[in-house]
Every structure is written in C-alpha cells, then in structure tokens.
Amino acid sequence: MWFSRRAVSRQPSAAIAKSALAKTSNQAAVMQRINECYQLAEQHFRKSFTRPSVHFSLRGKAAGTAHPIQQMLRFNAVLLEENPNVFLSEVVPHEVCHLLTHQLYGKVKPHGIEWKALMQQLFQLSGKVTHQLDISSVTPKGVMYRCHCGPLELSVRRHNKVMRQQAHYQCRRCGQKLEPVLND
C-alpha cells in the first residue's frame, strides 16, 4: 500500500478538545457541559452523535450560535465570563440541541417542534428562543447626534453611513436632519 491508515480516536471528548483550548475555567466548564449533553443524548437515543468543534469567538449580543452543517458551536466569551451559570444550564443545552436536531431530523426550523421536543425530553428546559442576559458590556456605544428636540444616540453603523455620505437621518419628532455632536 502506498498510503497508511491512521487510527481514529472514538473518545467523545477528543473531538471537542481539538477545536478550542479552554483559556478560562468557565470555558473548560462549557466544554465539559457539551460533553455531558452529548452523553445524555447518546444514552437517550442509544446512538452516537458526531461531536462539534467549539469556539469562543462569538461577538455581539448573542450568547451562542450553532452551525449544524459545519458541526460547530460558537460562544460569546465575554457573556460567558459574566454569566457562567446561565451558560451551563441554558445556553449550552440550547445550542447543542440545534446540532442534535439536525443530526436526528435533518433540515428543520431552528426553533421548531422537533427542537422544542428535544429541549424538553433531554434537558427538561422550556426551549426559550432568546436569553435574558445583561448585554450592556457587549453593546457598542453609540455616537451622539442632535436636533431641535435635543441630543440622541445613533448606532455606530448608522454614524459610519453618515460619515461615508451613504445616508442621512431625520428626527422623528421635529423632522430636522440629525447632526453629529462635535467633541471640543
């Protein structure tokens, strides 16, 4: 033979460990919780499931995202450090359930009846679609603008469109064009 065969590890945690090295104890706890969720599903369905790659690179307001086609989970490291208990009890099972639903049923609605049923059967969770975490630390500050009514905040995205002359905005109350407040 001109090629060699490599032995593939079948240990459940091996696939997860290769995807991301835990930089904090909370990230390590998430990795462990993912493994526990998969073991629970394997016991329930008496079948093995492909383990996902896991990354802690998610930014913005989302706590986590599941990418079923790529078999990948992404988590927001900032929100994890601020809310470790909620992540372990709600966010991780929520995202793992998306991947399990895809492996069991194929392409279905992200929060459809199959997903909700799995959330209730496996994790005894109601299947909430959104989290209730404090996102103030991951919400970008806006840029101050003014009109006749007074000051108001415009998102960074909208401010950048104004600066590139791709858009202009008017006050909903007085109708005046919004102007940026210049810092002196």
Catalytic residue check, 95: yes
| Tokens at 28, concatenated | 């390590």
Both tokens of 161, joined, read 């469109």
What is the per-residue pLDDT for 16? Answer: 56
Q: Give yes or no for residue 7 having a pLDDT over 50.
A: no
pLDDT for res 155: 86
Tens of pLDDT, residue by residue over 53-97, are: 999 999 988 999 999 999 999 999 999 999 999 999 999 999 999
Selecting among 36, 81, 82, 95, the annotated active-site residue is 95
* Of residues 56, 55, 28, 51, the one with CA closest to residue 38: 51
**H-helix segments, 106-155:** 113-123
Model pLDDT, residue 142:
84
Tokens 């909208």 label which residue? Answer: 158
| CA-based nearest residue to 83, from 74, 75, 73 | 75
Q: Are 43 and 96 in contact (CB under 8 A)?
A: no
- The whole-angstrom separation of Cα 154 and Cα 43 is 51
Nearest to 77, CA basis, from 64, 68, 86? 64
For the chain, domains (ranges, CATH) are: 12-123 (3.30.2010.10), 143-180 (no CATH)
User: Between vectors from CA 10 to CA 86 and to CA 14, what angle results, nearest 5°?
Assistant: 45
DSSP strand pairing (72-75 vs 53-55): parallel
101-123 confidence digits (pLDDT tens):
999 999 999 999 999 999 999 99
CA distances, 48 to each of 11, 40, 44, 53, 69 (Å)? 11, 10, 10, 16, 17
Q: Check residue 42 and give its pLDDT.
A: 97
Output the pLDDT for position 20: 64
Model pLDDT for residues 116-166, shown as the tens digit of each residue = 999 999 999 987 887 788 777 887 788 899 999 999 888 888 999 999 999
pLDDT for 184 equals: 52
